[in-house]
Chains A and B, each alone.
Chain A
C-alpha cells in the first residue's frame, strides 16, 4: 500500500516536472518553503490520540473546549480607547450596542509608561493612541453605566498593570461588586515588552515580582481574572516570523510558570489563569497551524515538564488580533479583505476571543464606521460562513498536520537555544530575541523592496489613487481637559492619607510582602498612577535598553 502510493506519487511528480511553474517564491509570509503537494506520506507518523486527541482533551490540538464554537462562539472584543474616559466610555457603549461581547481597553502612551497626564514627558501624547487614565476617578468614568459584573474587560497594560488593575478592582468595590464576580484580563506580560513592544518601566527582577504578586493575589481574591496574557502579537508586529512568535511567546510563558513556582506557588494554583494572545497574519494555513501547535506544545510542557495535574493548567486559551503590520496605507479598503482572511484563520485555529483591525488603523485610530465593518466581519464569519459549525475543520489535512508538526519542532529547537543561552531573562540581556526579530523584520522588508514579497496596491497593482476615507481626529483640547481634571482631583482628595499609603507602599516594595493590597489601598484613596509608579521607581529603579538594530 505505502509502496504503491510512493510509486503513484513518483509518477505524478514526473508529469508535474514537465509543467512550467510560475516564478514564486512558494514560501509563507515567514519565508518557510511550502511543497506543491502533501500526501498521506507526510502524516504517516501521526497518532490521532497522541498528537491530536478530541477537542477539550489532551493535548488539545483540536481546541480547548469539548464543544468549541458549537457551545459558545468566540468573544468579539474590539480593542478600543482614545481621548479621555468620557470619549472612550461613549465608544464602549456603542460597541456593546452593536453586539460586541467583551471590552478591551487601549490606553494612551503616558498611561502605558506610568506617567500622569500632567507630566512633562506626556506632552502631546495624552489621549492620542488610547485613553488617558490617571486615577480611579477616570476608571469610574470609563465604565460608567457598564455592568462590570456582566461583561469581561481586557486591559492592554504591562509595566503598570498592577496599578490599572487595582483601579478597575477599586471601581468594582466602590459599586459593591465583590472581586470574585469580576472577570477579565490584564496583559501584564513584561517579558515581551523587553523584546518587542518596548513599553517597560522597571528592570526585569522587580517586574517579575509584581507579576507573581498578581498571581498570588488573584488566586486568592479575583479567581475569574486572567492574570497575564502572554503575548506573541507584539513580537510578530515587531517583525518576527510565525515560528519565532510561537517559540518566543511560549518561552515567555514557561518563564512565568518558573517564576510562579520559584515564588512558592503551586503550579495548579496560577497556571489555569494564564492566557495567551496571538497575531493573525496573512499566511492563512501557517497561522492555523501556529495556533494548533501552540496548544499542543503548552499542554505537553505543562503536563510533562512542570508536572501540572489540573487539566485547566494544560489548556492554552488565547485571544487573537489580526495583523496591524499587514495593513497598508495605500488603498485602505483592501484592508477589510486582509482582515477577513486573518480573522477566518484565527477562527479555524480555535481562538477564544478576537479583535479585527479596522481598515483605517494604519492611518489613525479607527472611526466608528470602520470599527463597525471590522466587527461585522467577525459576525459574518460567525453567522454566515459556516466556519463555526464543526470543530477544527482542517484537522487531518496532510498539509495542516505536517505544517503543525514542523512548527512544533522548530519551536522546540528555539527552546533549546534559549535554554543554552541561560533562559529567557539572560537571552533578553544578550539581545537574542531583539536581534532575531530585527533580522526577520529586515529580511521581510528587503523581500518587499525586491518585489519577491507582493503587497497588493503597494509594490504590485499600485494605483496613484488619493486617499479618500474619513479619519478620526483627536481633539488637542483633551490634554488640557485631562490635566485640569487631575488638578481638581488632587485638591479634593485626602492628601495626607494618600501620602501615607504611598509611603507604606514604598516600604512594602523594599521588603518582600505582596504589593497588591498596598496598591489597591492607594488606588482607593485616589492616588494617581504616576504617584504609585514613582513610589515604586524609588525602590525598583528603571530599565534601560541597549539599543541594537
Chain B
C-alpha cells in the first residue's frame, strides 16, 4: 500500500434487507477516520457488490446483513471477489450473526471478521488498520 493512498472501503447492503442504520453509521465513522468510503445503497446482489468493489478498486468490503441470509450471501460475495482477482480484499461482515454462523463464515474463509451488535466503531477502525498492512 502506498503511503499517501487512503484506505478504500466499500460498505454494502446485500440481499433484500433494508436495515441501513448500522451500515450508514459505520460508513460515516470510517470516513471520519480518514478512509475513502463508498456506500452502495440497498438491495444489492452479490454480483453488483463484487463489480462495484472491482470498479472502485477497494481494499475492504464491509457487508451489513440483518435478515438472516448471511450464510447464503457472504460466501457468494467472497466467491465473486475471488473470481475477479480480489482474493486479498478484506471482507468484513456486520449485523445479527449468531456465534455458530460466525464460526462457519470464518472457517470457510468467507469472512475475515464479523462484527455483531454492540461492537465499538473504534474496534472496526483498528481492525482495518491492523489487517490492511498485510495487503500487497
Q: Is the CB of A449 within 8 A of B120?
A: yes
A124 touches B71 (CB 8 A): yes
Question: Which residues of B approach A to under 8 Å, CB–CB?
Answer: 11, 15-21, 23-25, 27-29, 37, 39-43, 45, 66-69, 71-73, 96, 98-99, 116-118, 120-122
Which residue in A199, A239, A467, A546 is a CB contact (below 8 Å) of B99? A467
**What would be 24 A-B contacts, judged by CB atoms less than 8 Å apart?**
A109-B67, A109-B69, A110-B16, A112-B16, A113-B43, A121-B16, A121-B45, A124-B71, A125-B16, A129-B67, A129-B68, A199-B18, A238-B21, A325-B21, A441-B21, A441-B25, A445-B25, A449-B121, A449-B122, A455-B118, A467-B99, A547-B40, A549-B11, A549-B39
In whole angstroms, how far apart are the Cα atoms of A244 and B115 in the complex?
29
Interface residues in A529-547 by Cβ distance below 8 A to B read 545-547
From B25, which residue of chain A is reached at the shortest CB distance? A445
Task: Evaluate contact between B69 and A128: CB separation under 8 angstroms.
Answer: yes
B48 to chain A, nearest CB (A): 11
Contacting residue for A474 out of B28, B45, B68, B118, CB 8 A: B68
Are A125 and B21 in contact, CB atoms less than 8 angstroms apart?
no
Enumerate chain A residues within 8 angstroms of B27, measured Cβ to Cβ. Answer: 549
The reply to whether the CB of A328 lies closer than 8 angstroms to some CB of chain B is yes
Going nearest first, the 6 A-B pairs with the smallest beta carbon separation are: A124-B72, A198-B18, A547-B41, A128-B68, A124-B69, A109-B16
Shortest Cβ gap from A228 to chain B (Å): 19
Given A109-B67, A110-B16, A125-B16: A445 in contact with B96 (beta carbons within 8 A): no
Cβ contact within 8 Å between A547 and B98? no
Closest Cβ of chain A: how far from B99's Cβ, in Å? 7
A198 interface neighbour in B11, B20, B73, Cβ under 8 Å: B20
Q: Is the CB of A239 within 8 A of B21?
A: yes
Q: Which of B11, B15, B96, B98 contacts A109 (CB 8 A)?
A: B15
Interface centre among B11, B16, B99, B120 (most CB of A within 10 A): B16
Q: Does A341 contact B (CB under 8 A)?
A: no
A479 nearest CB neighbor, chain B only: B72
Q: Does A362 sit at the interface, judged by CB under 8 A?
A: yes
Report how far A109 CA is from B43 CA in the complex, Å: 11
B125 to chain A, nearest CB (A): 11
Evaluate contact between A549 and B28: CB separation under 8 angstroms: yes
Tell me the minimal C-beta distance from B127 to chain A in angstroms. 15
B42 touching A364, Cβ below 8 Å:
no
Q: Which B residues are CB-close (under 8 A) to A115?
A: 16
Give the chain A neighbours of B20 by CB distance below 8 A.
198, 238
Q: Are B121 and A445 in contact (CB under 8 A)?
A: yes
A328-B117, A363-B98, A438-B24 are known contacts. Are A197 and B18 too (CB-CB below 8 A)? yes
Taking a contact as CB atoms under 8 Å apart, the answer to whether B28 and A328 are in contact is no
Chain A contacts for B67, CB-based, 8 A: 109, 125, 128-129
Q: Which residue from chain A places its CB closest to the CB of B122 in the assembled complex? A: A449
* A173 touches B (CB below 8 Å): no
Alpha-carbon gap, A198 to B39, bound state (A) = 15
- Chain A positions 450-484 with a Cβ under 8 Å from a chain B Cβ: 455, 458-459, 467, 471, 474
Any chain B CB within 8 A of the CB of A367? no
CB-nearest residue of chain A relative to B16?
A109
Q: Is A123 an interface residue (CB 8 A)?
A: yes
Contacts of A329 in B (CB 8 A): 116-118
Q: Quote the shortest CB–CB distance from A512 to chain B (angstroms).
A: 30
CA distance A330 to B118 in the complex (A): 7
Hey, which chain B residues are within 8 Å of A238, CB to CB? 20-21
A26: B residues at CB distance < 8 A: none
Q: How far is the CB of B58 from chain A (nearest CB, A)?
A: 16
Q: In chain A between 77 and 133, which residues have their CB closer than 8 angstroms to a CB of chain B?
A: 109-110, 112-113, 115, 121-125, 128-129
